[in-house]
Amino acid sequence: MTNLPIIQSQKEADRFGRRIAVRLTAGTVELPYAITERLRAARVQAVDRRRAANLVRASSVFASGGAATLAFGDGGVSLWNRIASALPLIALAAGLILIHAVQDDRRASEVAEVDAALLTDDLPPSAYADPGFAQFLKSGRN
């Protein structure tokens, strides 16, 4: 008979639990200043940590923003990202090749023009290699 529960209904148990909770809450008001200050500092630190975590999250979203516009699905992000980042390099290489080819062409045509002028001149090209003719030109200039 002594082992019979003191509180028999759920309502009674809830009422008892809440009365205990009220007493416990009253106890938290009297916490020492050092403790409440440490709790306050911990809270401020936690909120700062959350701000930092949000910043990291936001910056990672910002960094992937350019690639995200080219993405067509989860798997395509890295492929399109790679293609997009390689495009300027490809354009630069193509431009350099084009400039080189144009300049090569221009140089060849200039050389061809000189050659043609030399070949169609009255004086044969071998005359320019002759030391006597070179001397003749120098003395004639003087």
Binding site for another protein (CB under 8 A): 5-7, 13-14, 16-21, 23-28, 30-31, 35-36, 38-40, 42-43, 45-47, 49-51, 53-54, 57
Please tell me the distance from the alpha carbon of residue 119 to that of residue 100, in angstroms, as a whole number. Answer: 28
Closer residue to another protein in complex, CB, 45/103: 45
Q: How many residues does the chain have?
A: 142
Least spacing, CB of residue 74 vs another protein, in Å: 21
**What is the per-residue burial (b if ≥16 Cβ within 10 Å, else e) of 35-73?**
eeeeeeeeeeeeeeeeeeeeeeeeeeeeeeeebeeeeee
Least spacing, CB of residue 62 vs another protein, in Å: 17
Closer residue to another protein in complex, CB, 35/70: 35
Least spacing, CB of residue 53 vs another protein, in Å: 5
